């Protein structure tokens, strides 16, 4: 488990100087870069990891590749980075065909979940490594490192070693290192996945503000639905090597195009042959139009909400989410007969 959060684990958006951030991180081309993927295919033996993927990631945006394990999201990111060679299709960055261009020539910054820092180097030397091997002038490297460490909230940590940092601090050092070479695009492969929940929440808020301030085109791989909905301008929901839906967070949550998207982006219940969200269900003592009978199995108090678990006449489990006030007025009891119906919100037909 990572170290307990310290004040430096949770920089606030107000700490980011927008002018400084744009100056330090602007790519050599001076403009954010659009990423275009066309008919991308990738096989590993008989396994079809990517199936004719088409995707346009707008310049200056933060786009999340969201999906379960095996959906192809990390393979897609690694192919954009040049760490995987596709079996078919094209990758373009800023209008340039980079399909077979080596990673080091694509102008990308890459941050992994388990960041491999140079343990024998200080924070300063880790962040300045990229510019140093590109033969930047020493004065420019020192200036850039100092500015980046200020942006990521690690000013004063220059002479520490990675082992002396918490997990959150190490990942922010990793982001500073990725930005030090002024990448055209920033690729993040579950960068906060190994951190504690509180630190993850703090860092993703900070990342959202940092990306919006710098304008660097950013692609984030995650399996965490809340993370994607929280930080992304656009979400590509992936399943079995395909993109099931691409759109803004509100669109993919409120207007899912398939049963998979609906189920993956949150809890669901089957009522009347449709998938609905638990918080869009109404429970009543008396039958009302459109409602079905259920028997209460369990009432779970979760502080700010109450979950009522029940089953319908066919034995299917249904979970309804109530506010404390709603639960107080209804006063559901185990074994009680109630009636449930979907009031509003997204729904989709189920194959079950």
Residue 102: which CATH number?
Answer: 3.40.50.300
Q: How far is CA 39 from CA 4, 54, 85, 171, 345, in A?
A: 44, 5, 13, 33, 34
Same domain, 199 and 327: no
pLDDT at 295 over 90: yes
- Which pTM was predicted? 0.81
pLDDT band at 3; cut points 50, 70, 90:
very low
The secondary structure of 117-178 as a DSSP string is --TTS-HHHHHTHHHHHTT--HHHHHHHHHHHHHHTT-TT-TT--GGGS-HHHHHHHHHHHH
Same domain, 175 and 301: no
Q: How far is CA 72 from CA 204, 238, 318, in A?
A: 23, 7, 31
Structural domain boundaries enclosing 153: 7-259
Per-residue pLDDT tens for 75-105? 999 999 999 999 999 999 999 999 999 998 9
Same domain, 301 and 229: no
* Contact assessment for residue 219 and residue 60, using Cβ atoms and an 8 Å cutoff: no
Pairing of strands 242-247, 234-239: antiparallel
User: Does residue 112 form part of some domain?
Assistant: yes
More confident residue, 117 or 141: 141
Of 229, 259, 289, at which residue does a domain stop? 259
According to DSSP, the residues that pair with 234 across neighbouring strands are 63
Per the structure, the count of domains in the chain is 2
Weakest-pLDDT range from 110-124, 213-227, 324-338: 110-124
User: What is the spatial distance between Cα 175 and Cα 326, in angstroms, rounded to a whole number?
Assistant: 44
User: What is the spatial distance between Cα 15 and Cα 210, in angstroms, rounded to a whole number?
Assistant: 10
* Contact assessment for residue 267 and residue 260, using Cβ atoms and an 8 Å cutoff: no
Q: How far is CA 40 from CA 48, 51, 74, 234, 298, in A?
A: 11, 7, 14, 20, 47
User: Does residue 318 form part of some domain?
Assistant: yes
User: Does residue 2 form part of some domain?
Assistant: no
User: Does residue 1 form part of some domain?
Assistant: no
pLDDT band at 29; cut points 50, 70, 90:
very low
User: Does residue 168 form part of some domain?
Assistant: yes
Same domain, 205 and 343: no
The torsion of the CA quartet 340, 345, 348, 352, rounded to 10 degrees, works out to -30
Is 208 strand, coil or helix?
A: helix
More confident residue, 160 or 193: 160
User: What is the spatial distance between Cα 268 and Cα 319, in angstroms, rounded to a whole number?
Assistant: 8
Same domain, 285 and 342: yes
User: What is the spatial distance between Cα 31 and Cα 37, in angstroms, rounded to a whole number?
Assistant: 19
Same domain, 143 and 227: yes
* pLDDT value, residue 347: 62
According to DSSP, the residues that pair with 342 across neighbouring strands are 281
Mean pLDDT of the chain: 86
Is 184 strand, coil or helix?
A: coil
Same domain, 125 and 160: yes
Q: Above pLDDT 70, what percent of the chain? A: 87
Of 259, 286, 318, at which residue does a domain stop? 259
Is 252 strand, coil or helix?
A: helix
């Amino acid at each position: 488990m990572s170290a307990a959060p310290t004040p430096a684990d949770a920089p606030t958006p107000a700490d980011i100087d927008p002018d400084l951030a744009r100056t330090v991180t602007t790519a050599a081309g001076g403009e954010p870069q659009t990423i275009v993927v066309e008919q991308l295919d990738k096989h590993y033996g008989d396994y079809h990891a990517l199936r004719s993927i088409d995707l346009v990631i707008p310049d200056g945006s933060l786009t999340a590749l969201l999906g379960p394990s095996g959906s192809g999201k990390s393979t897609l990111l690694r192919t954009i980075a040049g760490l995987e060679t596709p079996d078919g299709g094209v990758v373009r960055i800023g209008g340039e065909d980079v399909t077979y261009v080596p990673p080091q020539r694509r102008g990308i910054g890459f941050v992994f979940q388990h960041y491999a820092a140079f343990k024998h180097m200080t924070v300063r030397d880790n962040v300045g490594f990229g510019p140093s091997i590109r033969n930047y002038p020493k004065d420019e490297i020192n200036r850039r490192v100092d500015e980046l460490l200020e942006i990521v909230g690690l000013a004063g940590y220059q002479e520490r070693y990675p082992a002396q940092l918490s997990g959150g601090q190490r990942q922010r050092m990793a982001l500073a290192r990725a930005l030090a070479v002024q990448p055209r695009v920033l690729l993040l492969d579950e960068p906060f996945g190994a951190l504690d929940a509180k630190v993850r929440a703090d860092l993703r808020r900070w990342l959202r503000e940092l990306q919006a301030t710098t304008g660097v085109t950013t692609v984030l791989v995650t399996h965490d639905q809340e993370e994607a909905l929280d930080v992304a301008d656009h979400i590509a929901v992936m399943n079995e090597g395909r993109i099931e839906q691409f759109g803004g967070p509100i669109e993919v949550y409120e207007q899912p195009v398939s049963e998979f998207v609906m189920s993956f982006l949150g809890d669901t219940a089957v009522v009347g042959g449709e998938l609905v969200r638990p918080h869009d269900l109404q429970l009543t003592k008396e039958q009302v139009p459109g409602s079905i009978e259920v028997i209460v199995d369990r009432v779970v108090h979760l502080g700010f909400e109450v979950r009522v678990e029940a089953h319908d006449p066919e034995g299917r489990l249904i979970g309804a989410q109530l506010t404390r006030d709603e639960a107080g007025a209804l006063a559901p009891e185990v074994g009680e007969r109630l009636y449930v119906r979907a009031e509003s919100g997204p729904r989709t037909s189920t194959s079950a």
